């Protein structure tokens, strides 16, 4: 069965909607919104803190298995190189007779989730809704029921906000470019990307006007060169024009920093950042963000993958994310029958049980005021008498005490959130902060919550923070020591001893000319008010260069094939081919998946300095200079950049870059920057 978008009705609509599109350009929503209006629009989402992601579509039929391989997910069409014609044959087989929208919504609600984001259209282009603009949708299946309609009705019934995931990248639509590189028989002749953008807008108009108020528009697949910020901003404004209160993620434009998900400084990119499968080390004050994560190893249903995260892990992820000011979008990949996998259901029930008792410590809370808590996490709310701190204790202390560090507020009340009688817990103070005496037994096996109400405005003195360009230097290094409080002194020592009230007073950046261990601590009225922090700064000899006779541009490569989850030991492999390339280039791989490269050559630096090298790769990569590992960006991951530093003398230095790709997208870039060298792609010599 060949399914193609309706062409007969596109052209008249194409011009009509293009006109509509231009008419909306003036209503630039992102620029005209005041911060208070934005806060009002984001309020429900920031208070919700916890949502359900649903990846569902034709890919649930193969369920991760193809030609004997069982590790595919929702990318199966591309990863297994399934032709359009073969993939289209899943349409008449998609008949999820056990789909029950109300049951899905109840699972989410009972787990304590406040919103659902479902893939209205994933990368494969198949639509879970009845679209006028394509036959490649749910109405062409035997099921013939509009999934989004039933889900929106159920969400309305149970008071759950509904959001739509919509993939910009579309492996089915004839006008979407680029094609998959292995689709050599699928012509690009006649493909007009602008026409695809109009198709997108036609569909966005459908999903934003046919299903009531939509809370979130979750774009994805923005990373291929055909999409750009101009389209993204126009689409953002178009969506906000249709639903002014809608919230749009940062993948609507190209401003996202790889899977870390935050938006590149200064770029416009939607309303919130989208770290994926990872929890940022800290939140970013003033930036809204949401970590999306699978429960096992796949977004789409994989019948063979049983690597399920435990309820403890999922609950602690939720607590960790919210303590950093983020939202948690936890994914379920339903089966082709329309059922949630049982392990997903079990985890949702376990999370719901915890949320019933402790949800107050999650919803409408703000991030922790503490930099680090050895026993767990903290969230907080403002209350009439001051501030309520929710102390999430992971490991119940054997001495039954936890210290709330460097806090100078008077305690008002303290009790276990799980205790309906709110029996007071004893709170005392010592020079480290407030000491809370806990009962013998932890009330919860995963995370127990202690409530501490303190009087007045928060008065916490976090330890000082060190700031410098690097922790190694070859000549002089300037180090600043920062505190998040005005009214206190920073005292420091340079011999590793604990600062005292008469130690050196920090009055401005310190200039180091030798290896030094700096210790710093905050003081108030001669008394220490924070713990001591230390940082080692090392003076190093820059690596000597090598002599390179007749250097010429280029790099040597060796190419390998195999199925790895981490970089292989190349010394044990035989290359399939090797040769020279002008630059770092992985496009001459024999297949789009399961290959590796080892690149060797030289780089040149023009002066002695500490240099930062980085690789941006999908999947893993490592960068060595003269055999020293400088960048470790290994493992399976989407496009991700990692960096490392090394001190080099002026001249040529040997470089080795190792890279592997398993399945899905692939990218490999290598960069250098120095104190007098803007970040730039590496040039290679041989």
What is residue 255's three-state secondary structure? Answer: coil
Please, are residues 672 and 657 in contact by the beta-carbon 8 Å criterion? no
Q: Of 292 and 647, which CB lies nearer to ligand FHN in the complex structure?
A: 292
Q: Of 108 and 434, which CB lies nearer to ligand FHN in the complex structure?
A: 108
Q: Of 220 and 658, which CB lies nearer to ligand FHN in the complex structure?
A: 220
For the four alpha carbons of 33, 35, 39 and 40, in that order, the dihedral sign comes to negative
Q: What is the total residue count of the chain?
A: 686
Please, are residues 325 and 367 in contact by the beta-carbon 8 Å criterion? yes
Closest by Cα among 605, 649, 641, 604 to 623: 641
State the nearest-atom distance from the C-beta of 225 to ligand FHN, in Å: 16
Instruction: Return the structure tokens found at 492.
Output: 């420091």
State the nearest-atom distance from the C-beta of 292 to ligand FHN, in Å: 5
Q: Of 121 and 392, which CB lies nearer to ligand FHN in the complex structure?
A: 121
H or E element: which one contains 368?
none
CA distance linking residue 663 with residue 64, whole number of Å: 13
Q: Of 72 and 537, which CB lies nearer to ligand FHN in the complex structure?
A: 72
**Per rule CB under 6 A, count of chain residues that contact ligand FHN:** 8
State the nearest-atom distance from the C-beta of 218 to ligand FHN, in Å: 8
Other C-beta atoms closer than 10 Å to the C-beta of 284 total 15
Q: List all residues 6 or more positions away from 196 whose beta carbon is below 8 Å from its beta carbon.
A: 170, 173, 175, 176, 177
Q: Of 276 and 608, which CB lies nearer to ligand FHN in the complex structure?
A: 276
x/- string (CB under 6 A) for ligand FHN, residues 64-83? ----------xx--------
For the four alpha carbons of 407, 409, 412 and 417, in that order, the dihedral sign comes to negative
Residue with tokens 């434009």: 253
Q: Of 115 and 354, which CB lies nearer to ligand FHN in the complex structure?
A: 115
State the nearest-atom distance from the C-beta of 323 to ligand FHN, in Å: 22
x/- string (CB under 6 A) for ligand FHN, residues 174-213? ----------------------------------------
State the nearest-atom distance from the C-beta of 344 to ligand FHN, in Å: 16
x/- string (CB under 6 A) for ligand FHN, residues 14-53? ----------------------------------------
What is residue 380's three-state secondary structure? Answer: strand
Interactions with ligand FHN, residue window 268-287 (CB under 6 A):
276
State the nearest-atom distance from the C-beta of 619 to ligand FHN, in Å: 13
Q: Of 299 and 340, which CB lies nearer to ligand FHN in the complex structure?
A: 299
State the nearest-atom distance from the C-beta of 253 to ligand FHN, in Å: 15
Of 343, 575, 638, 654, the one binding ligand FHN by CB under 6 A: 638
What is residue 430's three-state secondary structure? Answer: strand
What is residue 484's three-state secondary structure? Answer: coil
CA distance linking residue 603 with residue 107, whole number of Å: 56
Of 61, 292, 319, 460, the one binding ligand FHN by CB under 6 A: 292
Q: Is 299 in the site for ligand FHN (CB under 6 A)?
A: yes
Q: Across-strand partners of 311?
A: none
Closest by Cα among 365, 398, 401 to 380: 365
Q: Of 24 and 78, which CB lies nearer to ligand FHN in the complex structure?
A: 78
What is residue 104's three-state secondary structure? Answer: helix
CA distance linking residue 613 with residue 605, whole number of Å: 12
State the nearest-atom distance from the C-beta of 50 to ligand FHN, in Å: 16
What is the contact surface with ligand FHN in residues (CB under 6 A)? 55, 74-75, 220, 276, 292, 299, 638
């Amino acid at each position: 069965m060949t399914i193609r978008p309706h062409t007969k009705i596109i052209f008249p609509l194409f011009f009509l909607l293009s006109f509509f599109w231009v008419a909306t350009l003036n209503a630039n929503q992102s620029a005209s919104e005041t911060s208070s209006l934005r806060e009002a629009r984001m309020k429900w989402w920031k208070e919700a803190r916890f949502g359900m992601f649903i990846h569902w579509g034709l890919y649930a039929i193969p369920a991760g298995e193809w030609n004997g391989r069982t590790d595919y997910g929702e990318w199966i069409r591309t990863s297994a190189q399934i032709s359009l014609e073969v993939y289209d044959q899943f349409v008449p087989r998609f008949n999820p007779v056990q789909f029950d929208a109300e049951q899905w919504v109840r699972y989410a609600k009972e787990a304590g989730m406040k919103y659902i984001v479902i893939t209205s259209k994933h990368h494969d282009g198949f639509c879970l809704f009845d679209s006028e603009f394509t036959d490649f949708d749910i109405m062409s299946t035997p099921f013939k029921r509009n999934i989004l309609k039933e889900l929106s009705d159920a969400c309305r019934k149970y008071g759950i906000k509904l959001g739509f995931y919509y993939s910009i990248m579309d492996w089915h639509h004839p006008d979407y470019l680029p094609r998959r590189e292995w689709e050599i028989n699928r012509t690009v002749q006649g493909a007009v990307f602008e026409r695809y953008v109009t198709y997108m807008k036609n569909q966005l108009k459908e999903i934003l006007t046919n299903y009531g108020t939509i809370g979130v528009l979750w774009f994805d697949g923005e990373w291929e060169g055909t999409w750009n910020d101009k389209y993204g901003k126009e689409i953002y404004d178009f969506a906000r024009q249709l639903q002014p209160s809608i919230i749009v993620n940062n993948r609507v434009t190209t401003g996202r920093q790889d899977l870390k998900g935050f938006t590149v400084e200064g770029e416009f990119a939607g309303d919130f950042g989208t770290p994926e499968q990872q929890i940022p080390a800290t939140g970013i004050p003033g930036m809204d963000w949401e970590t999306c994560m699978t429960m096992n190893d796949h977004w789409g249903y994989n019948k063979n993958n049983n690597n399920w995260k435990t309820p403890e892990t999922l609950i602690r992820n939720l607590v960790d994310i919210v303590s950093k000011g983020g939202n948690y979008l936890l994914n379920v990949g339903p089966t082709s029958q329309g059922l949630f996998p049982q392990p997903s259901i079990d985890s949702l029930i376990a999370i719901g049980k915890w949320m019933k008792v402790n949800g107050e410590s999650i919803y409408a809370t703000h991030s922790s005021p503490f930099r680090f808590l050895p026993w767990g996490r903290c969230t907080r709310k403002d209350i009439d008498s001051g501030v309520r701190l929710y102390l999430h204790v992971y490991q119940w202390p054997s001495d039954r005490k936890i210290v709330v560090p460097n806090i100078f507020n008077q305690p008002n009340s303290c009790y276990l959130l799980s205790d309906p009688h709110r029996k007071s817990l004893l709170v005392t103070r010592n020079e480290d902060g407030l000491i809370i005496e806990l009962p013998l037994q932890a009330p919860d096996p995963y995370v127990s919550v202690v409530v501490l109400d303190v009087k007045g405005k928060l008065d916490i003195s976090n330890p000082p923070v060190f700031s410098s360009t690097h922790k190694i230097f070859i000549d002089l290094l300037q180090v600043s020591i920062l505190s998040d409080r005005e009214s206190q002194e920073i005292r420091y020592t340079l011999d590793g001893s604990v600062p005292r009230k008469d130690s050196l007073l920090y009055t401005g950046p310190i200039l180091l000319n030798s290896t030094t261990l700096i210790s710093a601590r905050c003081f108030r009225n001669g008394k220490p008010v924070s713990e001591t922090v230390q940082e080692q700064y090392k003076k190093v000899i820059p690596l000597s260069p090598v002599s390179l006779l007749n250097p010429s541009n280029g790099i040597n490569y060796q190419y390998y094939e195999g199925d790895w989850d981490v970089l292989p030991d190349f010394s044990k492999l035989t290359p399939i081919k090797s040769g020279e390339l002008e630059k770092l280039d992985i496009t001459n791989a024999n297949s789009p998946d399961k290959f590796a490269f080892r690149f060797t050559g030289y780089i040149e630096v023009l002066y002695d300095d500490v240099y930062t090298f980085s690789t941006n790769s999908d999947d893993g990569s490592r960068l060595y200079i003269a055999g020293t590992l400088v960048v470790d960006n290994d493992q399976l991951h989407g496009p991700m950049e990692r960096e490392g530093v090394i001190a080099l003398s002026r001249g040529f230095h040997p470089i080795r870059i190792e890279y592997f790709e398993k399945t899905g997208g692939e990218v490999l870039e290598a960069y250098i920057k120095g104190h007098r060298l803007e970040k730039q792609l590496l040039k290679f010599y041989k």
